[in-house]
Amino acid sequence: MESVSGPRPARSARIFTIINNCKETVWPGITPGENFGGGGFALTTGQSIVFTAPVGWSGRIWGRTGCSFDRNGNGTCQTGACGDTIKCSASGKTPATLSEFTLAALDFYDVSLVDGFNIPMKVTPINGKGNCSTAGCVADLRTSCPSELAVKVNGKVVACRSACDVFDTDEYCCRGVYGNPVTCQPTYYSKKFKEACPTAYSYAYDDPTSIFTCSGTDYVITFCSGRLVIHIPN
Q: How far is CA 158 from CA 55, 189, 200, in A?
A: 35, 18, 19
10 Å Cβ neighbour count for 1?
Answer: 11
Q: How far is CA 174 from CA 52, 81, 99, 183, in A?
A: 35, 25, 20, 8
What superfamily in CATH does domain 13-138+199-227 come from?
Answer: Thaumatin (2.60.110.10)
Give burial (CB, 10 Å; 0-12/13-18/19+) of 2.
exposed
Contact present, 103 and 125 (Cβ < 8 Å): no
pLDDT of residue 227: 52
Instruction: Give CA–CA dist 180/174, Å, rounded.
Output: 7
Among 65, 66, 60, 82, which Cα is nearest to 16's? 60
Instruction: Give CA–CA dist 192/143, Å, rounded.
Output: 13
Q: What is the pLDDT along the chain (234 residues), one digit of tens a residue?
A: 444 444 444 478 999 999 999 999 999 999 999 999 999 999 999 999 999 999 999 999 999 999 999 999 999 999 999 999 999 999 999 999 999 999 999 999 999 999 999 999 999 999 999 999 999 999 999 999 999 999 999 999 999 999 999 999 999 999 999 999 999 999 999 999 999 999 999 999 998 889 999 999 999 999 999 753 333 333
Domain positions in the chain are 13-138+199-227
Report pTM. 0.90
Contact present, 24 and 75 (Cβ < 8 Å): no
DSSP output for 29-93: EEES-TTTGGGB--B-TTBEEEEEEETT-EEEEEEEBS-EE-TTSBEE-SBS--SSBSS-SSPPP
pLDDT of residue 13: 95
